[in-house]
Amino acid sequence: MSTPVIFDPMTLPSDDNVNSYTFCVELKASRWFLQKGKMIAYYGQINFDGIGHGRFERLVRSSFHSPLHASDWVVAEGSGKMLLADRAFDVNSFDLEDGNLTIRSGNLLAYEPSLALKQSIVPGFVTLIGTGKFVAASNGPVVFMEPPLRVDPQALVGWADCPSPCHHYDHGYMTGVMGGIRSLTGIGGTSGEEHQFEFVGAGTVLLQSSEALMAEQATGAVPNEPGVPGGGFAPGGGGTPRMPGQLGDLQRRFGL
């Protein structure tokens, strides 16, 4: 029988992975932002407080710019070592050096306050800007790819430095009445891969090696202003139900 590794406060790694599913953060009278409920255990003296706590006003002003996600995030403060994990997903830490990275909001577990969290223009994503370390979860190990490339929406974890994430539709499968029926009903066969995200330019794209998504976080809605993508949509509200025979939203986008 192999003897399992037993960790104590001395042997736990500092700001590194304990195993592929667990990450250990060392706090030395410092603060970290972490997503609610991702702490599984800690040694030492650590307090967890909601973002709205008055003492954090300065911290939040400099490194948290996403009021929509405020209720999902807490500040860990104190000294000790804490373990982070999420539903037995793989966790990895990444270092940003004066860089930027955009990531699906549910996949980001924790980050150092030297980074600033901002809500991305792309709904459901957040952007980290600055220098520091953050911890992200993915279903299966993360794969790094270089643009230009097209990725499956469910496999996308995030991207760094890429200036132009956009949607790509395989046009041939979508046009015409037959294409509409096909994409709507699946009759005639769809591969399920007609829609991708496309990245061009210099940068890195992070993919997970499965198409299982993290549970969507309830993020509320962005301000209802002209020009704000997603503004004015009530998520989940979903507009009028689609009638049978009505062509999908895709057709409208193609002007059909």
* 3-class state of residue 105 by DSSP: helix
The contacts of residue 29 (CB under 8 Å, 6+ apart) are: 78, 79
- For position 141 contacting another protein by CB under 8 A, the verdict is no
**Are the CB atoms for 164 and 199 separated by under 8 Å?**
yes
- Measured distance CA(204)–CA(213) in Å, rounded: 20
- For position 56 contacting another protein by CB under 8 A, the verdict is no
Put residue 143 in one of left, alpha, beta given phi > 0 → left and psi -120 to 50 → alpha.
Answer: beta
- For position 142 contacting another protein by CB under 8 A, the verdict is no
Size of the site for another protein (CB under 8 A): 36
- For position 7 contacting another protein by CB under 8 A, the verdict is yes
Q: Which residue, 21 or 169, has its beta carbon nearer to another protein?
A: 21
The contacts of residue 131 (CB under 8 Å, 6+ apart) are: 96, 97, 98, 99, 114, 115
Output the smallest distance, CB 79 to another protein, in A: 12
- For position 136 contacting another protein by CB under 8 A, the verdict is no
Count Cα atoms within 13 angstroms, Cβ side, for 145. Answer: 22
Of the residues 30, 31, 53, 59, which one makes contact with another protein according to CB under 8 A:
53
Place of tokens 């993020």: 219
Question: Cβ of 62: how many Cβ atoms within 10 Å?
Answer: 12
Residues numbered 71 to 130 that lie near another protein (CB under 8 A) are 71, 74, 83, 85-88, 91
- For position 177 contacting another protein by CB under 8 A, the verdict is no
- Interface mask toward another protein for 25-44; x: CB under 8 A: -----------xx-xxxxxx
- For position 218 contacting another protein by CB under 8 A, the verdict is no
Of the residues 28, 50, 79, 211, which one makes contact with another protein according to CB under 8 A:
50
Q: Which residue, 101 or 108, has its beta carbon nearer to another protein?
A: 108
- Measured distance CA(113)–CA(133) in Å, rounded: 9
Residues within the interface to another protein (CB under 8 A): 1-2, 4-9, 18-22, 36-37, 39-44, 46-50, 52-53, 71, 74, 83, 85-88, 91
